[in-house]
Amino acid sequence: MITPSAYSLAGRTALITGGGTGIGLAIAKCLAACGAKVVLSGRREQPLQTAASEIGELASIQVMDVNDTAAAPALAATLREKHGPIGILVNNAGINMKKPFTETTEEEMLGVFQTNVMGGLALARALHPQLKESGDGSVVFISSMAALMGIPLVAAYSVAKSAVTGAVRAIAVEWGTDGIRVNAVAPGWIDTTMSRRAFEGDPTRKEKILTRTALRCLGDTEDVGWSVAYLCSPAAKFVTGTVIPVDGGASMGF
């Protein structure tokens, strides 16, 4: 029988990195709306507390830095002790850098790669036993349309997000027998504080972007959040190793 319960996350506990603002907060709200307990993580406590108060009793926080990959095993133990076993991991934390490739240093490339790729991989590896124990573990990486199409001035970011896409496929194959699904969502232009600031600096930029987007509009943060909620739910029990573009058709390249 097909019922709405296929989308229920009741009884699950999800860790969302970068969960205090923007897309990460929207993901947390959507998962909580489906019944999951959500642990919002980030480097600064105050934004996390504010975000958790918006969600209510299903939300808690964990101050952490995804760049500190050596701390991942100890962090996994702390998470289990404080919040119970983690059955859902959403690797959302990331950074971007707008700079011509010829001017981008190796140190800058590695910095972007560390946050966007290595931090999430270290967390996934450390949480593997808990994800396996859950019986229906789900890992969702937040990739980007920059991994699906060429975009100027963001080479470091594109390289990192392309690596995320490759990691999703490789890990999904390895962890399938453990009952863990691994997927990614690739957002396009989403209406966030960051994108609004970008448009303020170049009034014509938004119009140019919309003309290259099939749906002729920006996405909402909840568009990403509900896509993640689907991938974490029983409704997606036969979906793994895939990347879902949430970009209004921008990456189709017309």
Burial of 160 (C-beta count, 10 Å sphere; 0-12/13-18/19+): buried
7 assigned to active site: no
Query: How far is the C-alpha of 4 from the C-alpha of 232, rounded, in Å?
Result: 14
Per the DSSP assignment, residues forming a β-bridge with 99 are 154
CA atoms within 13 A on the CB side of 180: 27
CA 106 to chain centroid: 25
Nearest Cα neighbor of 90 from 231, 187, 246, 221 is 231
Beta carbons of 137 and 233 less than 8 angstroms apart = no
Place of tokens 């966007």: 116
List the one residue out of 122, 147, 111 whose CA is nearest residue 15.
122
Q: How far apart are CA 246 and CA 185, in angstroms?
A: 7
Triad 28, 33, 35: Cα angle to 5°? 100
Per-residue DSSP letter, 176: G
Structure tokens at 160: 């990192």
From the list 157, 175, 189, 230, the catalytic residue is 157
Any idea which residues carry the catalytic annotation?
A: 157
